Structure 1
Amino acid sequence: MPKVQVLNMQGEAVGEIELNDSIFGIQPNIHVLHSAVVSQLAGARRGTQSALLRGEVRGGGRKPWRQKGTGRARSGSTRSPLWRGGGVIFAPKPRKYGFKLPKKVRRLALHSALSSKVMEQQLIVLDVLSLGEAKTREAVKVLKALHVDKKAMIVMDDMDDAVLRSTRNLEGVKATDVAGMNVVDLLNHDILVMTKAAVTKTEEVFA
């Protein structure tokens, strides 16, 4: 089992924690990670693009000129896609781009993302994270003590309002709970900061 030092809010080592091999110690599956990222980003697309087909454009009800004898090409409507102001051939319509991955694949992707953080020594485990007041400077003080100067994701066992409000103005820092963890956020942030309670809950929920 991989072992990680447990730090306090002052950045001092106060112990060690053994991590579950099946969650934090597997060989990351790159293909599954890619599939999970594509699925999540596709699901986030709004898909609201829309254009009018020839039958939906206003006007064009009468034939602009007779079929024969004018010397011009035959035409049945001024709303043909060949005309300016006409409809669009194969017009895009609102649709959903998202697709679902099997539950085991989604779970394997999350395990791979967490394991990659451990392998690259980008996981910091805190014994507890408790801010006295919801102030940005309090969160900055903790991150400086942990030597976090890159994009960081803070994961707690349950959402703490003070931590959430203290970090929301910090660029590149995101705070969430165990239920809010996802592959895209884990890969987008260089450092993963988890409380000891969050690690325990992750092993209980995702084992």
Structure 2
Amino acid sequence: MIKVPVFDSDGNSLEDASFSEESFGGKVRMGLLRDVVIMHEANHRRGTASTKTRGEVKGGGKKPWKQKHTGRARVGDIRSPIWKGGGVVFGPRPRDYSFSMHRKAKKVALQSAILSKLKDNEVVLVDKLELDSPSTKKMANLLKSLEIREGCLLVIREFDETIWKSTRNIYNVKVRVSSDLNAYDVVKYKKLLVVKDVLDNLKFE
């Protein structure tokens, strides 16, 4: 069993919550985590890098000099890849780098990502997270009281505009709805801030 302290909205410790490793897959599968991270980063690539071949660069048509009796190497046109300003051989072309993984593999990767955070004491639980009105100052004070000074992923049950507006101006803090949670975001951020009930009822679908 893994014990995680639970705090209130003021940063005061309340109790310890216990989680079994089996509920998060039993072990951390590092190879699968690596594959999921590569997939997410590949899916974010724009793939717009492009170079021109010798058939696309400007110039050419006329032979620079005659074939023989000049003492120089023979040349067909100035668009040759060995000439400055010529075409590029095997250069990058626009392409789609994205690929997908099986849904079950992504589910197991998410379990492994959360389990790794639990084992490394990088999960912070709060009993509830409610704000009357958007306030960056209140959210920043909450993170400070919880001793969260690095990147943080805040997981909530459903979209809350008040919480979203309170965190959007805080550097390296991201809000995710539990149904949209993925292994890449869990691994990317140093701390995982979750409402206790959300983690208890998290469904790995």
Q: TM-score, normalised by structure 1?
A: 0.86
Aligned twin of 1:104: 104
- The corresponding residue for 1:82 is 82
Deviates more, 1:90-99 or 1:193-202: 193-202
Specify the alignment match of 2:151 in structure 1.
151
Name the SS of the counterpart of 2:175 in structure 1.
strand
**1:69 equivalenced with 2:74 (yes/no):** no
In structure 2, stretches of 5+ residues that fail to align are none
CA distance in 2, matches of 1:162, 1:34: 34
Partner Cα separation in structure 1 for residue 70 and residue 147 of structure 2: 81
Are residues 1:185 and 2:175 paired?
Answer: no
Task: Give the aligned partner of residue 167 of structure 2.
Answer: 167
Q: How many residues align?
A: 205
Q: In the alignment, which residue of structure 1 is the partner of 2:58?
A: 58
- 2:113 matched to 1:113? yes
Deviation at 1:21, TM superposition (A): 4.5
In structure 1, distance between residues paired with 2:183 and 2:61: 53
Contact 1:6-1:14 within 8 A present in 2 as well: yes
One-letter code aligned to 1:148: I
Please report how far the alpha carbon of residue 11 of structure 1 lies from its aligned counterpart in structure 2 after TM superposition.
2.8
**TM-score normalised per structure 2:** 0.87
The CA distance in 1 between the partners of 2:175 and 2:183, in whole Å, is: 15
Distance 1:174 1:74 in 2: 61
Secondary structure (helix, strand or coil) at the match of 1:202 reads coil
Please, what is the CA RMSD of the aligned residues?
2.3
Identity of aligned residues (%): 36
Contact 2:2 2:119 survives alignment (8 Å):
no
CA distance, structure 2, for counterparts of residue 101 and residue 180 of structure 1: 16
Do the aligned residues in 2 keep the contact of 1:155 with 1:177 (CA within 8 Å)?
yes
Aligned-pair distance for 1:83?
Answer: 1.5
